[in-house]
Structure 1
Amino acid sequence: MASDRDILPSWIKPTHYVISIHDIEFGGGFTYQGTVAIHVDIKESFTDIALNAHQLKLNSAELKTKDGASKVVKDFAYDEKRQRVTLAFGDKVDYTGEAVLSIKFQGTINNIMAGFYRSKYKPKGDVPASVAKDNEFHYMFSTQFESCDARRAFPGFDEPNLKATFDVELEIPEDQVALSNMPEKSATQGPKPGFKTVLFETTPVMSTYLLAWAIGDFEYVEAFTKRKYNGKSLPVRVYTTRGLKDQGRFALENCHQIVDYFSEVFQIDYPLPKVDLLAVHEFSHGAMENWGLITYRTTAVLFDEKTSADSYRNRVAYVVAHELAHQWFGNLVTMDWWSELWLNEGFATWVGWFAIDHLYPDWNVWGQFVTDSVQTAFQFDALRSSHPIEVPVYDGLEVDQIFDHISYLKGSSVIRMLSAHLGEKVFLQGVADYLKAHQYKNATTNDLWSALSKASGQDVNSFMDFWIRKIGFPVVTIAEEPGQIGLRQQRFLISGDVKPEEDETVWWIPLGLHTGSSASATSLHQIGALTKKEDTIRDVDDAFYQINKNLTGFYRTNYPPARLAKLGEARHHLTVQDKIGLVGDAYANAVAGYGATPGLLALVERFSDESEYLVWAQILGTVGNVRSVFSSNDEISESLKAYSLKLITPAVEEVGWEFKDGEGYLIGQLRAALILSAGLIGHKPTVEEAQRRFDAYTSGEKTALHPSLRKAIFSIAVKNGGEKAFQAVQDEFLSTTSVDGKEICLQSLGRVQSPELAQRFLSFIFSDKVAMQDKHSGTIALSSNSKVRIEVWNFIRENWDSKVHPTLSGNLVVLERFLRFGLNKFADDKVADDIKKFFEGKDTRGYNKGLDVIDDTIRSHAKYRARDEKVVAEWLKTNKY
């Protein structure tokens, strides 16, 4: 056992599993019986064998050795905390070599979106009588084993580097469909009338967390790859419950193209004989990359051309690409241990966007990446409670908390930085070499660096190591002198109070300096990177310069105030990524105290003539954050509202309400974002038109709302329409058949203005009308809503033992997300103290890191508010807001 990991003993390794799931109770109990025969390789004598098992009951077990001897297990000792069971044989077994461990067990198909679980849904069309149901809902069954929940479905060796092959056999009703990683091998009549036994082909060598199966009333749409694999095109299918399959066509069209594209990019053919995508009605994450049977939340794989908001088109395309990237990066080559989770997620995030850029060049994918992924990664990594990308993980139970923005978004941001530095072609060649060298095996971060070093001729480890293994990121502060600039790097903390012992890392920082006589006449200044705490660069043209062109480097830039103003003047010559970086950096520096809010407000003021959606997304988010922090000061709040109205009015009037044929995707997104923001801050013509359309819609004129404007119009109506509008949108939630409708309604209901409606909404969220996966959606809007934000905390505190913890604690990922989204928008130390005191003495394992993030964020914003309140008020008054 490694001293820094709690792992299973190394003297026994699995090589092959034969899993049979049978006697499923399709009625109320949802129990099942199972047998598993695990082929193992034993290296030393033993008296017992430890396996992973959680919430299973083992009935009997025996070990058969290669020489035909049989040893029956005498006792089972369960360790619930470590999710293990020890099989005791009573006597010492003197045997080494191959053996088969056979276990009979029973389990329950749970409702917490982990392990082997059930999802409720309301069907479309006639459903076979065998499908499980209750009064209102029908159920489908599927699995979610990552990170450590295969052990909830069957006993085994549930660690990522204990790879094996798998045979899966499922006993199901004859009129239902069974799916697994591999194609069906045979279907024979079962031992009971009306049942069949479906056996699947043997999987490749893989980790337990990638195994999957599903049972339900499924139908599918199908396409085939254009590329040939072993002489023939691969079948690609999107499976749904009955009546939804046509909404899978957009994902299907993306899927077969991306499989072919990645096969070329990675220089390894997709290794399985089929690709299945399955829409799952209740799902804790966005999707899961099970090899050959990829499972998705419905809103991440289904899209209806007539009823879906266009933003979901982007989401579906990206999530499909992300999960397909994992078929190579994660499935074919798997991280050695959970500490290197970022290898899977960081790379899949970057290469997912890479594929979407290939398919949809007009979507400005890297602009999206900078405004969404990079800025969000900055936000979380600027906290003292952050963690390195590669973080020590003691046992599998700790890993769920690092499926976070650091592993995914900072991981992908530094991958993008490295790709930009090495060059895309060289970078992808190194990745292909890495995959070829380690296929069907496990690998480490250093293995990837070695392949990239060989491909590039550079020592990648020397400049990337700190980015992966050290916490945080730097801010580069610039000092100007005639003809030259001084650069100083230090760790960036949003709280602005970096201690000397927290600022010892010296990062390798690619500078990306562009300079010239004007913003339109710049060239790249080839000066390499900043590799020490301070340095000076000479021959810089004072007329114009910028560093970190296109925000490819993962760091903040702190310009002198006068330079920031000049860059604002030159904004029309900057790229979308440059503008996003400029605004994002100015805001972050203001919060941390490296800059000040008046400088930020003066910069943003210039952007009222901006036409790009992605820049507006950054601006609206930034101004919204500033308004949120200062919302407790009524005078500043009103002035910032006037500032926002002046900023947004020309743009919202220019973009208009009507969607035009042939209009670009990003223009539609701009319209939706501007109408939402203008309406919420009280732009009178926008509010009036939104309410007119809402009234028409709720009176039965369903064509009154464009699908992409539902969120904006519902939100504006709820904010202004009181109880009547609230009830109308809640009714819409209950009746909508649009795949994205429930999510949009919950986000809109969070715009309520009274404590009574906020509490009523939270009670509704915790009713069985709202699926577990969606319970955090409404709190995102509520927490951003300064009028009723405190009600989220009041509800959690008052209903912790009766509703919140009992409902969400079965899946700690969901609980952590609910708390973090619900509580991280406060800017008041008293609230932070209250939250801290409330959770003292509680068992917070599984969501303790989320509580740290909440505390850190609230206190940093409180410090920012106290420091800048006076200067913000003065600037707003001076500028007549």
Structure 2
Amino acid sequence: MSLTKKSTFIDPYRLPCNVKPLHYNLVIKTDLEALKFEGHVAIDLVILEETSTIVLNCADLELEQVSVHSEALKTEQIQIAGQTIDKDQDRVTVQVSTALPAASKAQLRVGFKAPLTGSMTGYYFSQTEIDGKKVHYTLTQFQPTDARKAYPCWDEPAFKATYDITMVSRADTVNLSNMPIASEKPYSSTSDEYGDSGDGMGKLTKMFSNLKSEGSSGGWKVTKFQTTPLISSYLVAFANGPFHYIEGSYTSPISGAVRPVRMYATKEIIHQAKFALDVNVRCLPMYEEMFDVEFPLPKLDTLVAHDFDLGAMENWGLITGRTTAYLIDEEKSDIAAKKGVAETASHEVAHQWFGNITSPEWWDVLYLNEGFATLMGELVILDKLFPEWGASKEFINMHLQSALALDARRSSHPIEVPCDDAKKINQIFDALSYSKAGSVLRMLSDFVTEEKFLKGVSIYLKKHLYSIARTVNLWEGISESTGVNIPDIMDNWINKIGFPVLTVTENAGSITLGKSGLLRTSAGLSLIDAMRSETDCLVWDSIATRINAIVRVWWEMSDVTRNDMNAFRRSLFSPLVKKYGFEPSKDDSHDVRQLRTLAIAEAAAAKDEDYIDRVLQELCSRFKLFVDNVDHSKILPDFQRSAYVNAVSRGGRAEWEAVKKVYKNPPTPSAKTHAMMAMTATTDPALIDETFKSLMTDVKSQDMTYFFSGLNGNRLTRRRLFAFLKENFDEIYKRFEGTFGLGSIIKISLRGFATQDDLDDAMTFFKDKNTSKFAMPLEQSLDGIRADIKWLEATKIQPEEVILTVIGGKAGIVHKISWTILHQAKGLREWHLMLVILDL
């Protein structure tokens, strides 16, 4: 919808377009001791249609000092006729006594205040310990619609405006925002004038209470930042706290300008940010060259936070993210952690162009942000930064596989997904908006060639600098660079649910294509059984994923069934452990390191008996050195998780307490993640009780999904976890309402259930609940249960017979069909595609 043309249609979920913000003069005072903030904003407006009402977004703020000023009217301040708040739509409507004329300019001034909470949304506090003392600091998380929790605004991406941001804070803290600091000085009661004489906001003492003079105890300072370019509200960012930084720089290949690149964090962890800093410094000039568009800001900072809902957030000029997303000790962290940091870093830098310079007109084209950042940051750039990692291959397992799995369900949605209600936007941040979008764009790039694809992207960006866009705008750019009718080619891929299905037939009979009912599960396992000579980790990773899918659904089958399945897993992975051993070599390739880690984890999960000295006993004995002597040296980073998990699951309180200490005081972020998974792997009833009791009292909100995932993966606690969710649902809902974590918690809690009783139980529980904020992940979970029920019913034979058939090597005609297909395949990608098509 255009912001400059009159529209007779009124969308109940979108703000009226009769008034448009041009510029925000925003002042935020942060009190880290009282854990509250106050603010004042003066918003310059253009009146597009004559109106007596101004409607904007506001949530959880106490408003005061509301006034309206008009350039066109003789009276400087217009009388406020009324003010109403719509909590359901997060809106405030200001009514004025005199209509504001069309084509005029006005200014809305509002004071506001609110407590600082640990909600991980809006403007919130995070906490950690420094030198044994609890410390608070603040940061923002506004995507998609939480800027309204920090200041009154037009909180839709299409309403771009410029910002002057000023922060008032304790003198001994650091202030950060999108732009560099323009000036910073101690607050003084004798020099208190705020901003320019025309800003209309007077002195700071009139805006805020409890300001103390320079030199007094607990003094304040005033930090003013440079004016931003046109920016959407969800990308505005500011933070305050005891931050330290490390710094690098890069030289623009376009202009030759040298820009500082910094990583900020608290002092006890900042040293682990060097690798992420290096990635940012290296990828920034690459993006400039690829897009032929210079990074437009004077600097790029990244703030690493201890409490963060997402992995990371691409705020323009001030990226934010959690510790696991950005911190790594290269000597103490596994290769997966290093890759994760590189992927996150390059992904968020990609957003500085996709989403920040050119933003989506509305959230139904979220994929224009996330699909591109996934493709560029986790494939194109990563392959250039670390060619030895094989990003082009791993993209298949990481993104194509997850996209196909979700897109195969009836509860799937198109890549470009209708999403009118802003309160439901969080639900579409899923594998379709990220992974399917990235995979489809990758397909398009391969089809038109990467060179022409990137040229088209450059055309698209240049035509929409500092503006908004929709899908058609991207297709126009690529069509211009290729001469191909891109809209016709891409319409079905972007606007339709699902993907094409490849059907394979034999003259002698038909196939009955596992889980989907198109091919027997035993045929898929036969194919896996025939792949024992494989040496590529990508293939083994896919094999492990498919086997684990079976284990997850058959988890309540008889001991005989589970033992047979474990025997099959051991027969696959134990030889790999014997081949690669536990000690890495300096000559190991990236692929070998990953394959060793995978093999150890899978063999251990299968309760390895044939090579017990090589796997379980080895892991547990190395962990015992850590428990007895706090000696981590023998637990190498690549199999740290396996050592933690298996030692705790087979041990007792000593092992559990040891990993709990790691969770509380981790040497690296990845060690913390491994410790959480280990704590939830215990089989001791008393320790299981303690783990559940700690969830609502001793576990950080950002860590809850890890604990839920671990407890769901433990067959002794899976049902108890769902019971826990039901018992504590109201509290959990309140705690995670508005976060991305809410939908994840629901999905994890229902993972692995495969009976009609499970389905009925879940549907009955949620029947009378307000599910509007997690309706999509809930329906996807219920779809998963329905599919697994049908899968088990469709086998028509006992699972024991399937496993014994595979172990016996009796694959028959289906085995031959599978190998005929593979013989015709021309590359690793096709091998993986075959595993996906089988869809065990």
Q: TM over 0.5, yes or no?
A: yes
Q: Which of the residues 703, 706, 714 maps onto 1:777?
A: 706
1:880 offset after TM fit, Å? 5.2
Kindly indicate whether the alpha-carbon contact (under 8 Å) linking 1:824 and 1:854 is maintained by their aligned counterparts in 2. yes
Amino acid at match of 1:6: Y
Corresponding residue to 1:605 among 529, 541, 548: 529
Tell me the secondary structure at the aligned position of residue 592 of structure 1: coil
Q: Is the 8 A contact 2:119 2:735 kept in 1?
A: no
Write out per-residue CA displacement over residues 619-655 of structure 1, whole angstroms, 9 at most, x where no aligned residue: 1111111122122221322211111111111111111
Pick from 602, 609, 623: which aligns with 1:677? 602
Counterpart in 2 of 1:862?
789
**Which SS does the other structure have where 1:122 is aligned?**
strand
Aligned match for 1:815, one of 732, 739, 742: 742
Amino acid of the structure 2 residue aligned with 1:27? E
Q: Which residue of 2 aligns with 1:745?
A: 675
Change in 2 beyond 3 A, CA 1:264/1:597: same
1:341 Cα deviation (Å)? 0.5
By how many angstroms is 1:47 displaced? 2.0
Distance 2:254 2:700 in 1: 40
- Where do residues 17-56 of structure 1 align in structure 2 (5 Å cutoff)? 17-22=24-29, 24-28=30-34, 30-56=35-61
1:661 aligns with 2:686: no
Instruction: Give the match for residue 620 of structure 1.
Output: 544
Residue identity in the other structure for 2:447: H
Distance in 2 between the 1:871 and 1:465 partners?
44
In the TM superposition, what are the counterparts of 1:835-850 in structure 2 within 5 Å? 835-850=762-777
1:212 aligns with 2:237: yes
Counterpart code for 2:514 = A
Highest relative contact order (Cα 8 Å, sep 6+), 1 or 2? Answer: 2
Counterpart in 2 of 1:162?
159
Indicate yes or no: 2:169 matched with 1:172.
yes
Correspondent of 1:804 among 692, 709, 732: 732
Compared CA separation, residues 229 and 102, structure 1 to 2 (3 A) = farther
Deviation of residue 373 (structure 1)?
A: 0.8
1:636 is matched with: 561
Larger deviation, residues 103-112 vs 428-437: 103-112
Deviation at 1:230, TM superposition (A): 4.2
2:623 alignment partner AA: F
Q: Which residue of 2 aligns with 1:190?
A: 187
Aligned partners of 1:682, 1:764: CA distance in 2, in Å? 29
Q: Distance in 2 between matches of 1:90 and 1:100?
A: 15
Residue 294 of structure 1 is matched in structure 2 by 319
Q: Is residue 120–residue 139 contact of structure 1 (8 Å, CA) maintained in 2?
A: yes
In the alignment, what sits opposite 1:151?
148
For 1:377 and 1:328, how far apart are their aligned partners in 2?
A: 24
Matches within 5 A, 1:239-254: 239-254=264-279
User: 1:58 is matched by which residue type in structure 2?
Assistant: L
2:724 is equivalent to residue 795 of structure 1: yes
Match of residue 442, structure 2, among 388, 412, 416: 416
Structure 1 equivalent of residue 485 of structure 2: 459
Cα deviation per residue 1:388-433 (whole Å; 9 max; x = unaligned)? 1111111322211111111011110100111111111111111011
| Cα distance change of structure 1 residues 560 and 764 upon mapping to structure 2, 3 Å threshold | farther
**Unpaired segments ≥5 residues, structure 2:** 1-6, 189-211, 214-218, 809-840
Q: Distance in 2 between matches of 1:755 and 1:36?
A: 55
Instruction: For residue 259 of structure 1, give the secondary structure of its aligned residue in structure 2.
Output: helix
Q: Which of 638, 645, 666 is equivalent to 1:708? A: 638
Equivalence for 1:133: none
Q: 1:303 to 1:144 in 2, by over 3 A?
A: same
1:47-94, Cα deviation, whole Å (9 max, x unpaired): 221110000111022122224622143432111110001112245444
Contact conserved, 1:754 with 1:788, CA < 8 A, in 2? no
Q: In 1, Cα distance between the equivalents of 2:125 and 2:510?
A: 57
- Residue deviations 1:180-228, cap 9 Å, x none? 1000000122142321100000000110111001111111111111435
Aligned 8 A contact 1:610 1:651 in 2: no
CA gap 1:101/1:636 in 2 versus in 1, 3 angstroms:
same
Q: Secondary structure of 1:276's match? A: strand
Query: Partners of 2:232 and 2:287 in 1: how far apart?
Result: 21
| Structure 1 gaps, min length 5 | 126-135, 483-558, 562-585
| 1:166-565 paired onto structure 2 within 5 Å | 166-191=163-188, 192-193=212-213, 194-227=219-252, 230-353=255-378, 354-479=380-505
Q: Give the CA deviation at 1:4.
A: 6.0
Q: CA deviation at 1:374?
A: 0.8
Matched, 1:9 2:13: no
Alpha-carbon distance in structure 1 between the residues aligned to 2:533 and 2:285: 42
1:611/1:651 contact within 8 Å kept? no
Aligned partner letter, 1:656: G
SS at match of 1:323: helix
* 1:83 counterpart = 2:90: yes
Alignment partners' CA distance in 2, 1:709 and 1:337? 43
Letter in 2 for 1:716: N
For residues 185 and 601 of structure 2, the distance between their equivalents in structure 1, rounded to whole angstroms, comes to 56
Could you give the per-residue CA deviations for residues 259-312 of structure 1, whole angstroms, max 9, x where no partner exists? Answer: 000000001111111011110111111111111111111111111123222211
Letter in 2 for 1:817: S
Which whole-Å CA distance do the structure 1 matches of 2:710 and 2:607 have between them?
17
Counterpart of 1:699?
628
Deviations 1:136-188 (A, max 9, x none): 63111000111000000000111100000001000012221101100000012
Residue identity matched to 2:82: D
User: Is the Cα contact below 8 Å between 1:60 and 1:73 reproduced in 2?
Assistant: no
Instruction: Tell me which moved more, 679-688 or 862-871.
Output: 862-871
Q: Give the total of aligned pairs.
A: 764
Question: What is the rounded CA distance, in whole Å, between the counterparts of 1:880 and 1:747 in structure 2?
Answer: 31
String of CA shifts for 1:239-277, please: whole Å, max 9, x gaps. 111132221110111111100000000011111110111
Distance between the aligned counterparts of 2:507 and 2:356, measured in 1?
53
Residue 478 of structure 1, CA deviation: 2.6
Taking the TM superposition and a 5 Å limit, the aligned residue runs for 1:129-140 are: 137-140=134-137
Contact 1:617 1:673 in 2 (8 A): yes
**What's 2:656 paired with?**
726
Distance 1:617 1:124 in 2: 42
Q: Distance in 2 between matches of 1:247 and 1:841?
A: 47
Identity of aligned residues (%): 33
Q: CA deviation at 1:756?
A: 5.0
Please give the alpha-carbon distance, in whole angstroms, between the structure 2 residues aligned to 1:754 and 1:248: 37
1:560: how far off? 7.3
> CA separation in 2, counterparts of 1:27 and 1:245?
23
Structure 1 contact 158–209 (Cα < 8 Å) conserved: yes
Residue by residue over 1:94-146, the C-alpha shift from the partner in whole angstroms, topping out at 9 and shown as x without a partner, is: 46411111111112222110010101112258xxxxxxxxxx63111000111
Aligned: 1:62 with 2:67: yes
Tell me, in whole angstroms, the C-alpha distance in 1 between the residues paired with 2:742 and 2:107: 39
Cα displacement (A) at 1:735: 3.0
Within 2, Cα distance between the matches of 1:820 and 1:335? Answer: 28
Given the alignment of the two structures, is residue 825 of structure 1 paired with residue 825 of structure 2, yes or no? no
Cα 1:303–1:878 change in 2 (3 A) is closer
Q: Judging changes above 3 Å, is the alpha-carbon distance between structure 1 residues 560 and 617 closer, same or farther for their aligned structure 2 residues? A: farther
For the residue of structure 2 that corresponds to 1:833, the secondary structure is helix
Rate the CA distance shift 1:757–1:790 in 2: closer, same or farther, 3 A.
farther
Contact 2:679-2:691 within 8 A present in 1 as well: yes
Superposition CA RMSD, Å: 2.0
Q: Tell me if structure 2 keeps the 8 A contact 1:597–1:872.
A: no
CA contact (8 A) 1:167 1:201 kept: yes
